[in-house]
Amino acid sequence: MTVQSTLTPEEAPPRGQPAAARLLRKLAESPEAGVIVACVLVFAIIAANAPTYTSVGNLQVMGRDLAQVGILAVGESVVILTGGIDLSVGALAGLAGILTAWFNVNQGLPAPVAIVLTLVICAGVGLWHGTMVTRLNVPPFVITLVTYTVAQGLALAITTGTPINGIDPLFSNLSQYYIGRVPVPALFFLGAVAIAWFALERTYVGRQIYAVGGNREAARLAGIPVARRVTSAYVSSAVLAGVVGVLVIGRMNVADPSVGSGWELTAIAAAVVGGVSLFGGEGRMVGIAAGAILLEFIANGLLALHVNTYYQTVVQGAVLGAAILLDRLRARFFGRIQR
C-alpha cells in the first residue's frame, strides 16, 4: 500500500534546502531568537572580564533593577502593539511613589490602602490617555507627553522638592525580601510577563490587540471594539507604572521626587530591542522580556567593568538605534523574499 504525503506545496520544505539552512532561516526570521542569543553572548563576555559580575549579590541587584525596567517595558509594549506610545511611564512611576508615600505618611493611611488608592489613580490616568486618543484623536505622543510634564511637576509640588521619609516597613518588605535567593521584585517582573503573555497570546482579547495594531481600520470593520482595546492598553501601562513606583520607594526606603526621569526611554528601548514594531501589531512577550534582560545585563556590566556611568545612556541609545536598524533591515529583506 502506498502512503501519500498530506503536506501541501506551501507546507512542504523547499527541495534541496539543507535542514541547517532552514533552521538558520527560521532563527533569522525570529527577532526573539536574536535578542536571546545576544543576552547569552553579552553575559558571557562581561562575566569573563568582570569576576564580580556573576556573584550572587550582583545577580540579586540585577534582579531588582530588572523589575524596574522590565515591568515598565511590559506595559509600554502593550501600548506600542496597538500602534501607540506612552511617554509618561517614567514620570508616572515617580509620581506613584510620591503619592503612595504621601497617603501613608502625611494622611496616615495604611500601606495597603495607600497602594490600592495610588494604583486606582494610575488607572484613571491610563483611562484619560485612552479616551483622549480614541475619542478626540489626540496623538498618543502629545497626550502622554503632557502627562509626563504634569506628573513631574506634581511630584515636586507635593514634596516641595524634599523626599518623604518614614514610610511603612511593608514597602521595604516588598522590595528587599527574598524567596529563596530570588528578590521579590524579580518575581513581580516574572508575574507581569506571564500574565501579559497569557493575555496577549492565549486570549481572544489579545488577538484583537494585535489586530488593532496591525490595521486599525480593518479591525474596526471586523467588529473589534478598537476604542476599548486601545484604552485597556493605556490603563495596563499606567497601572504597571504605578507598581514600579511602589517597588522603588520600598527599595530606597524613601520617596524621592527626582525618581523616574528617563525610564520611559529605557522601557521603549527594551520593547524595540525585544522585537516590538514601533508601527504596532508585531512583537511577543518572550522577546520583550529578553530585551529588558539584555539592557540590564549591559547597564550592570558597564558598572562591573568600571565604565563611566555617563556612557550608559550613550550605550543604551546605540543599542536602541541598532535594534531599530536591524528590525527594519530584517523586515525589508524577508518582505522582498516573500514577494
Q: Which of 155, 122, 156 is nearest to 242 (CA)?
A: 122
Specify the residue for cell string 534541496: 16
Whole-structure pTM value: 0.87
61-94 tens-digit pLDDT: 999 999 999 999 999 999 999 999 999 999 999 9
Q: What is the DSSP letter of 182?
A: E
Helical segments of the chain, H only? 19-29, 31-49, 56-81, 89-101, 111-135, 140-159, 169-176, 184-201, 204-214, 216-221, 226-252, 263-273, 285-304, 310-338
**193 vs 310, residue with greater confidence:** 193
Looking at residue 21, its amino acid is: A
Compute the CA torsion angle 236, 241, 245, 250 (nearest 10 deg). 60
Residue 164 has pLDDT above 80, yes or no: yes
**Treating both helix axes as pointing N-terminal to C-terminal, what angle do 310-338 and 19-29 enclose, rounded to 10 degrees?**
120
Cα 251 to Cα 249: distance, rounded to the nearest angstrom: 5
**CATH no. of 52-322:** 1.10.3470
293 near 63, Cβ under 8 Å? no
**Percent with pLDDT over 70 in the chain:** 87
76 near 69, Cβ under 8 Å? no
Grid coordinates belonging to 313: 545612556
119-148 tens-digit pLDDT: 999 999 999 999 999 999 999 999 999 999
286-322 tens-digit pLDDT: 999 999 999 999 989 988 988 887 777 787 778 777 7
Weakest mean pLDDT among 8-17, 42-51, 150-159: 8-17
**Region class of 8: left (phi > 0), else alpha (psi between -120 and 50), else beta:** beta
98-125 tens-digit pLDDT: 999 999 999 999 999 999 999 999 999 9
Q: Which of 284, 329, 270, 137 is nearest to 216 (CA)?
A: 137
Vertex 240: Cα angle to 236 and 242 (nearest 5): 120
Grid coordinates belonging to 44: 558571557
Residue 204 makes CB contacts below 8 A (sequence gap 6+) with none
